[in-house]
Structure formats: C-alpha cells, structure tokens
Structure 1
C-alpha cells in the first residue's frame, strides 16, 4: 500500500475580520481571491480573536464580493467551540423563556426587549435590527449590570461574561461549545488598577481542566500545534507578525514554511531607515532575517533600504498589492466638479488635521470646493471640532466607512493623502485604478512607486502645506489638466493587474520549494 501524498495547505494568518476591514485585512482577502482564481490554490484565512459575529461578517464579505465564497475562514474560538459553519439557524431557547411573573417591554424602534421583575430591570435582550436574532443579554441586579451572555450567528450561547458591578470590567469569561458544554474559562485580575488576563483553562466535555495558560499567546501556540498535521505541507503567510511569528517558531518541521509580510515601515520613527529602532511588530523577524523562508515587501525601495541595513538575502521578495480586476473607466464628465475625496482611518498617523487645515485655505480661493473624508476612528470628534473651528462645516464632511468605495472614486475629481508613513497605500492604488488622480505627501513607502508627479497626480514634500494647497487649487481650477491626470491614472493602473501579482507569488512558492530541497541536500552532505 502506498503512503498518502502530503497535502499542501496555504494559511493566511490574521487577527480578526470585521464589517469595516483594515487595509491589511482587505489586502489579505484580495490575495486569497487571487490565489484561488489565478493560481488554483484555495487558501484558509485564519483568525484568533473571539468574535461572536464572525458568521454574519463572513456572509457580509462574501455578499459584497470581498471574500471568495470557497475560501474558508478558520477561527481559533470557533474551532474550540465547534461552531456550525453552515450558518444555519440555531434554536434560540433563551429568547423563548417567558415567565408569567416577569414583565416584558419592547424597546421602541428596535427589536430589543427589557425584562422586569417586581418592577426592577432584570434583563436587556439585544437583537439584530434586521433579523431579530438574539445578539446578547445583559443581566442586572439592584440596578447594576453583573453579567452578559453573547450568542453566535446561529443563535447558540457562545460566552458568559461575569462583570464587576461597580467598575464593569470582566471578572470571568466562560466560552461554550454548541452542545452547551464549557470549553474555555478565562479569569481576570486587577493589579495596580490595571485589568489583565490572569489565566486560561481548557475543559473537556466532563468539565475537567485539560490545559492551562497564562497568556493568550500560549493559547494561540497550543492551537497552532493542534491544527498542523505532521503529514501535510504548510505555507503560513503571516499578515499579523506580532501575533503569529514567535508562536510559529515551535513548528520547526521541514514541512512548515513561514512567509512574513511587511505591511508597514520596519522602523518606529518613520524617518531613519538605517539606524532607527525597529518597529516592534517586526522585531523578531529582523533579529534574524535568515529564519523566514520568505520576507515579502510591497515596494522595491523598502527592500533596498532593508538590504542596506540587514544585508542581501535570497528570501526577500517584492509583491505589491494588486486588484482582482481593473475597474471599467467612466466618462470624466460624470465626476462632480470641485468634489475632492479621501479614504482613511481617523487616527493620528494619517495627519488628517493637515488635510483639513490645508483644504480650508483652498476654499478661500475656490469657494465651491468640497472635501469628503470617508472612514472611522478615535480622532473623529477632534476632527469635527477642527472643522467647526475653521468654519468649514459646509465644505468638509466626515463620512462613514464604505466597504466598496468605487462610487467615491468615480465621483471625485481627485483624492488626497497626508499620512506620516505607509508601506504601500492601498487607497492610492484603488484611487488611481478608478481614474482618480492623487495628490499626496511623498512619504516612505508606496506613493512615489505609484504617483508619477505631474502625470497621474502630484507628490508633495512632507509638511509643505503651501505647495500642497497650490497643487489642489491648480487642479480644481483647470478642468483640462484634471481630465488629463485622470486619463493617465487609468493607463498607469494597468500595473496593478492581478496576473502580475499571481506570477510573483508563483515564483516565490517555487523558490521556497527549491531552497528547501537545496538545504536538505546540503544538510545530508554535511552529515555524510
């Protein structure tokens, strides 16, 4: 009898998926589609964060064409909880329990219910506004919240959180399998006024403690060992190195290939690429750049800077982001004259205060100009206050995050980029592919690889507000120039085609296999 041929498995390692994806998550899911459609490889998207909405998020991403329906998502908590992946409706027994001596009051304009006992609030049942399915139940005692039960997308009880009634932090979490038995218990402690995880216990179906961990990273390491079969060949593509890289070092088999992806600057300060402190997300990688089978970078310029600092290695590969397919061009006349757009997280590193202040000066010269900034984040209130202080509420608008920004790019005359740093700038690629020129800071890395100054946009020295303002005015007041930049943006975007990305990934995977064979023969020769 012949031994079964090893299966090759390709794992894309992330932390979480959400309705509002980060740039890294969007890039990872796009890469998954390219692998499936261009290389004939169906990868597995791996996540480790607990997310009771993951089943619904998966459906949402598939519906919007972001996640390919045949690409599975493997989550650590769903694995231990044995979550039903089909998304079939579960039996929501708790929502059907109605005591005659309790009072149930519907919350106006929602599907929620408040439950009272002897006139006191006992429960708040939170339900989906669309389907009415139970999301969670908050429990109260003497007016204070003491517990929260969360339910997964099938309506099954997923986790019970015991809360401190005064401070509202979590004291204990119990995670449940779909059959109702507990599988994981987490205990939390309070030291020096800091809330932290104390320990994690894993239980069998009889309630016996089978494993215990001090940190989440230990649980992740344990889980990775569980899902890796010795007989199969694995290609781990790490999008979140901080979570996975060190944990994967315990998997030293020749069948395990580690591919790290660098999604941001390799240094902390964003300026000194050759002596600056290393970005903590990549510290373990750059401590020994020979360890990974491949280090994937997004631009040739970053690769050059890294080689100058850490030496030339055969495991560096440059694979820029790509588009699944190029958007069909739209007539320039359909673009809203004088409307400028930006897509960004509302966070300090995006320098959106620069953008707002500069655009307020543009409006003084071009009163019809408007700027729409799409996104979400911690800086929203601060930015709204700045817009109000500058008297720009009729010209600058903060808009909600959009999952599919095509209509934004196709209606604006150009977009703006004011980030302190990027590894590539996915929004710049997307904007140009929709024929929407970009005016942005000339930062490391990415913009200068895509924006050809004066051809499909303009590059501005960081901090040169005067030049930035003038370039915006130049384009807004010259429709012919704007249209020419748009045409050239479409032409230049051909380099973003997925076929080129697929070709580079195929070369990388073949190179890894070749190096492994060479290293194996070299080791054999030494031992002989």
Structure 2
C-alpha cells in the first residue's frame, strides 16, 4: 500500500498548497509511520533541482520520494549518462555576447538568427535557444539540466506553440503534442524504436496512462490539485480498488456569500457533484465541512475536517526584540488577495502613525499595479514589496502585526505560521478560516469583508494600545494556535485512515 500526494509542480517559489502538502508529508512520516510519495505533472526542467533544495532547507525529509510525469516518461533521471547536445553556428554567422548568460547570433546581413540563454556563466550548459526568421521567432529549444535538448517547439505568427516535441536524453522523440489556439489537440506517444504506439486526446489521458503503470490495489491518492488529478484518478478507480482523498484548499463555491446555491468552483465541481470520483473530501475548516454536508448530504463520499498541521515548535520571542512598527503579510500578488484594500487602509493608518511600515511578501501578476498604487498614494516610505521569501519565521519573529484582506481563503497556512510566532492578525471575516483562528479582541480582529475603512480603524485601534496590551494579543496568539499541533492533526488523520482500513492498533 502506497500513499501518493498529487500536485502539479514544485517551482522555485511555492504556493501555500505545495507548502501545506510538504508539512503533511512530515506529519505522515513522523506521526503515522507512512512515507508518502509525491507526484507532479508539469514539465519543469528544474523540478528535481528544486526538490533537492527543499530537502536542503528541511521542508521535506531526505528520503521523501517524488516522481514527475515527464521525468519518468522521458527517462530524464538518466540524463547524466549522456553527452550534452552540440551547439554550433554557421561560418558566416556572428556571435555577440550580450551579458554573462545571454548570447545572440546574427547572419551576415545582421539579422538575428538565435537568442541563446545559458545556465551557467562558463557557458557549458544551454538553458534555451530561440530561433528567428525575418525578425519573427519561429522555434524554441529547451535543454535539461545536463545540457541535452529536451523540448523543441514550433511557433506560429502569433507566437503560439503549434507543435512540441519532447525528447529523451539520447535524442529520441518520445512525445509530440499538437496544439490549436494554445490548447492541446492531440498527443502522440512513441516507443523506444521510434514507432508511434499510442495517441491521447489531452494531458489528462496521458496522466491516466502513467497512473496505470504506477497504481496498485489499495493505494491511497491524496489530491491537492483537483483540476488535474480528479479525472485521471477516477478513470483508474473504475478498474482498480484505490482510495482517492481530495483536499479542499479553497472555497468550493464562486460566491461565498451564497454557499447553498452558488455555482461551484470549477476545481471542485466534479468531485462534489459526482459520487464516483473520490472516496472522501478533507475540509480544512469545520465551517466548510458543514456547508458542503448541508448542500450535498446525499453524496456517498465522506467529509472530514482536518486542518493544516502546524509543524512550528513554539518558542516565545522576547517581546522587546520585535519591531513595533513592522506590519507584514505573506500573499500571492493576485486579485483575490485584494492587496489594494490593504494599501488604501494603510494610507489612513500612516496619517495617524507615520512610522508604521507594511511589508507585503510574495510575487504575482499584480506587482506592477500594486507598485503604481503605492507611488500614487505617496506610500513608498511605508509600504514595500520585497518579493518571495522562504525564511518566513525570521520575518514573523521580528513583526508585530499580520494583515489579510483576501476575499476568499481555505485555511490560511500563513495565519498558523503568524500565530505560532506570536503575531496578532487583523483579517477580513471571510469563508473560510479566519474566524476559526482569530478570536476577535483576543489575538486579533475580524473585519467585515471589503470594509477598508473598518480595516484601517482596527489597525489604528491596535496601535493605540499600550505595549502590555499588544503583548496580551501576542501571548494569546501562541496559546490559541497550540491546539493545531502535529500530534492533534495526526490523530484526525488516523481516524480518517482507519475508516478505510489502515490499522494503527
């Protein structure tokens, strides 16, 4: 019996979903004596390097296994055994070094033919090459960490991929994807002799094929990314007795103010409406479990309330070492986080407390918009966007207050981490999570969703307090989050797994 954690990718910057999955793997190993295996599906040529990094910083154990769809199908783990792909230019071509990692190749008429990006300053391993014809990019080749060409894409006049060849380290074609308007139309799968052996209509079918090579009877598959995994796993389940457990990391409806009849979040629609997809759903909060039960009470799958495990050992920080002016948030810079609300609230705060500073840690597509908003409101001395960070514990230990203006959440991992470091929280009162972690007036404040004025008032009210009153909030933060410890969450997982035949004695 194997336990698989099903994700999409493990990039250089992790979201809360990936981080919570890693924390769960530590819990399974230390408290359940289970060594889970991670599965991922994105074709990320750095994913193994990233995985080793997360081992190095102790976010996962050294012996936790990870299998990636394309690394396995393309046999990239054997890339070290093969020579690098050769790189050469024509006799009349002109090579120009742009900087320490970038080169350009021009023809004799000074028209660019290639744009080359290297992985290292020594120019020993190519990252990718873009090819040009008459000023238009027509082709892109990407190379693996050992220098062999792995992906070759042909682009149309709109710079859209028309077809994509995926190569094994020895240069043999393994997979060809045909695209139409940026969507996969067909996937051709070749055997080791170069003969077309299978055809798939989309990546979901390719994942299903891979799963048929992996899955065994009684295996458990715990899904963190339902959009990708629910369909191929349910196809496997039709022919094999496996258990599928879905973790709901966000709100399951599009309109959280109307959970009883609002249309469903597309990531969860299939698993909630159809009885044959999953065996159980893990809700991170009791409130979400109750809402789903009330709406889908006749469903065959079981519902469990199991929060993210808190793997942080609570060591109380000397309150005098905190920066009394430092406010923080950890968030993806995207619209659902409503970080513009936070900026506008801070505009009112600094009118009363000009020394207060807000640090918004994270990256995302709204960086330019938020930077512009900060400048327009002349807040560049009070609000900062330092980017993505890994060492969040050091940041939190030096902070005094955490803010959240999200319009929806699941069960914010960042809240658990903040409270574990004795940092009080002021958050919009949304579904789900804040009202199960924040006791209003005890370890923070809950604010009506979208009420920027009230958010500003609560921040000002917090800083109007004496140090001993702010210390009271900090001490309560430690105490209230203590219930979400690894041991207590492990007991909940034991109860759930026992329901499916996993015996702990």
The TM-score bracket by the shorter chain reads: over 0.9
Q: Which residue of 1 aligns with 2:205?
A: 218
Partner of 2:86, secondary structure, is: helix
Matching residue within 34, 39, 43 for 2:36: 43
Deviations 1:275-324, CA, capped at 9 Å, x for gaps: 21122111112213575322111011111112222227772111100122
Q: Does 1:504 align with 2:504?
A: no
Give the one of 442, 454, 466 matched to 2:453: 466
| C-alpha deviation, 1:464, in angstroms | 3.1
Q: Which of residues 257, 265, 275 in structure 1 aligns to 2:261?
A: 275
Kept in 1, the 8 Å contact 2:249–2:284? The answer is: yes
Aligned equivalents of 1:76, 1:424: Cα separation in 2:
29
How far apart are residue 88 of structure 1 and its match?
4.9
Pairing 1:321-332 to 2, within 5 Å after superposition: 321-332=308-319
5+ residue gaps, structure 2, are none
User: In the alignment, does 2:148 pair up with 1:160?
Assistant: no
Alpha-carbon separation, structure 1, partners of 2:83 and 2:53 = 22
Tell me, yes or no, if the aligned pair for 2:230 and 2:277 is still in contact at 8 Å: no
CA deviations 1:239-283 (Å, max 9, x no partner) are: 111211122222235630111111111211111111211221111
2:502, 2:382 → 1: CA distance? 57
Give 1:362 shift: 0.4
Mapped contact 1:115–1:122 kept (Cα < 8 A)? yes
Match of 2:102 among 100, 112, 121: 112
Aligned to 2:230: 245
- Measure how far apart 1:90 and its partner are: 5.8
Q: Secondary structure at the match of 1:249?
A: helix
Residue correspondence of structure 1 range 346-495 to structure 2 within 5 A: 346-478=333-465, 479-495=467-483
User: Contact between 1:126 and 1:135, CA under 8 Å: does it hold in 2?
Assistant: yes
Residue 444 of structure 1 and its aligned partner are, at CA, apart by 1.1
TM-score, normalised by the number of residues in structure 2: 0.93
- Counterpart for residue 291 of structure 2: 305
Match of 2:68 in 1: 75
1:9/1:235 contact within 8 Å kept: yes
Taking structure 1 as the reference length, the TM-score comes to 0.89
The correspondence of residues 32-181 of structure 1 with structure 2, limited to 5 A, is 32-84=25-77, 88=80, 91-95=83-87, 97=88, 101-108=92-99, 110-118=100-108, 119-129=110-120, 133-164=125-156, 166-181=157-172
Quickly say closer, same or farther: Cα 1:200–1:351, change in 2 above 3 A. Answer: same
Shift of 1:180: 1.4
Q: Please name the residue that 2:23 is paired with.
A: 30
Offset, 1:446: 0.5
- Tell whether the 8 Å contact from 1:294 to 1:512 is kept in structure 2 after alignment: no
TM-aligned CA distance change 1:204 to 1:422, over 3 Å: same
CA contact (8 A) 1:104 1:116 kept: yes
- CA 1:409 to 1:130, structure 2 compared with 1: closer, same or farther past 3 Å? farther
How far 1:364 sits from its partner (Å)? Answer: 0.5
User: Which deviates the most, 462-471 or 358-367?
Assistant: 462-471
**CA separation in 2, counterparts of 1:261 and 1:409?**
27
SS of the residue aligned with 1:377? coil
In structure 1, the residue matched to 2:214 is: 227
- Conservation of the 8 A alpha-carbon contact between 2:339 and 2:405: yes
